Structure 1
Amino acid sequence: MFFDADILIATGSRTGDETSLDELVGISNNTQLPVIVGSGINDDNAKKILEIASGAVVGSYLKEDGVWWNPVDVERVKRLMDIVNKLR
């Protein structure tokens, strides 16, 4: 393993930017390690991302208006978790 890594994380260009599916597939096809998405997951892309990735780090999307410094938006959490629970 490379530097004793336990997972690999694929991210977008900056906080909240969607991770490229091409990049995600490229990483997944070239490692034995689990691949986690580090940015950009939301209601619209969760299904396609989680069909490839082993998991995701979700932050700003779960905040009111998708703004990282705002409070958590409970409805956004519920919507995303409904999608995740159907996939898992």
Structure 2
Amino acid sequence: MDIKIFLTICVTVFLAELGDKTQLATMLFAADKEVSKWTVFFAASAALVAASAIGVLAGSLLSNYLNPKHLSIMAGIGFILIGSWTLFSAAR
């Protein structure tokens, strides 16, 4: 395992998840006094692992048909579109 790649991915995903809807939803579940915090933690962790697995599988399948450079460009355009939509929605 390449530790530099591992740390880059870990830090990038961690920063992307901070303040995300996923984190906010997890905080709401954890705020319920009747729910075990361990249950919230393990359920949220399992969901993130499953979502990451889907991302890895989709990325590996797409890389068989598309150039990685094109995938990066598509991802960048996707982020710009989502950010623009978010800004437009907030401005209304």
**Hey, which of these two has a bigger chunk of strand by percent?**
1
Structure with bigger gyration radius: 2
Q: TM-score of the superposition, structure 2-length normalised? A: 0.26
Q: Which has the larger share of helix? A: 2
Higher relative contact order (CA 8 A, sep 6+): 1
Given the two structures, how large is their TM-score scaled by the length of structure 1? 0.27
